[in-house]
Amino acid sequence: MGLRCAIPKGRPMEQLLPYFQALGGGRWGDVSRRLTLVDEDLGITFFLAKSMDVPTYVEYGAADIGISGKDVLLEHDKYVVELLDLGLSRCQLVVAVPENSSVRTVADLHFNSRVATKYPRVAEEFFNRKGIQVELIPMNGSVELAPLVGLADAIVDITETGTTLRENGLRVVGTVAESSLRLIANPVSYKVAFDEINRLVDTMRSLIDSGVSAR
């Protein structure tokens, strides 16, 4: 049986596809509703998961390897081996406030400011490190809505192109972390399929270094 690889659906998957095509596979057609697919050309079975869940599939060994954003790895702290920074889906985890807020830096956030986020653990570490007391409000998505409707004073969220922040009248006041896609492995799978996984890591690394475009 070939490797089982969990990948995040959506934008990350679109960025990864040219790389799988350059490896000789990736002829997937419309996979918008698919949850698994066997890529015979690559000898890899892909699990198409929610980005936040990819490290879980890998930690439990349901997938041997996975491709996950560093933001998700920081938030969930799973027992997985990080093998390669793919440099794709580069984005920043930032603190943002409404344009008309008086807050200019995170230090200006008033005591017990409410901060909505999909990253409560990373945000808590960030504010603790800075000695800033905030009330974190965990959310599952569309976090930019929270300050617009008075639920929160600020957000901690990912910005990639900056469009979502701009279109919702939000302004960055601090950077929490940088993120990009990482190739990760289950520690046991990595031992068992050491050569196979390392061959893939080496090939992916040369593709990334040479810069790939879709065929």
Q: How far is the CB of 148 from ligand PRP (least distance, A)?
A: 13
Q: Which is nearer to ligand PRP, 83 or 155 (CB)?
A: 155
Q: How far is the CB of 138 from ligand PRP (least distance, A)?
A: 13
Rounded to whole angstroms, how far apart are CA atoms 13 and 143?
A: 22
Which of 63, 107, 94, 93 lies closest to 81 in space, CA to CA? 63
In the chain, % helix, strand, coil (3-state, to 5) comes to 35, 30, 35
Distances (CA, A) of 136 to 114, 141, 190, 207: 6, 14, 36, 40
Of 157, 176, 189, 190, the residue at the interface with ligand PRP (CB under 6 A) is 157
x/- letters, 169..198, toward ligand PRP (CB under 6 A): ------------------------------
Q: Which is nearer to ligand PRP, 168 or 203 (CB)?
A: 168
Residue 142 contacts ligand PRP per CB under 6 A? yes
Q: Are strands 81-85 and 134-138 parallel, antiparallel or unpaired?
A: unpaired
Residue 141 contacts ligand PRP per CB under 6 A? yes
Rounded to whole angstroms, how far apart are CA atoms 144 and 190?
A: 38
Q: How far is the CB of 9 from ligand PRP (least distance, A)?
A: 10
Of 162, 172, 187, 199, the residue at the interface with ligand PRP (CB under 6 A) is 162
Residue 159 contacts ligand PRP per CB under 6 A? yes
Of 160, 191, 202, 206, the residue at the interface with ligand PRP (CB under 6 A) is 160
Residue 158 contacts ligand PRP per CB under 6 A? yes
Q: How far is the CB of 159 from ligand PRP (least distance, A)?
A: 4
Residues touching ligand PRP: how many (CB under 6 A)? 12
Residue 116 contacts ligand PRP per CB under 6 A? no
Residue matched to tokens 């929270």: 146
Rounded to whole angstroms, how far apart are CA atoms 58 and 145?
A: 32
The string of DSSP letters for 79-141 reads: S-EEEEE---S-EEEEEEEETT-S--SGGGSPTTEEEEES-HHHHHHHHHHHT--EEEEE-SS
Residues that bind ligand PRP (CB under 6 A): 141-144, 157-164
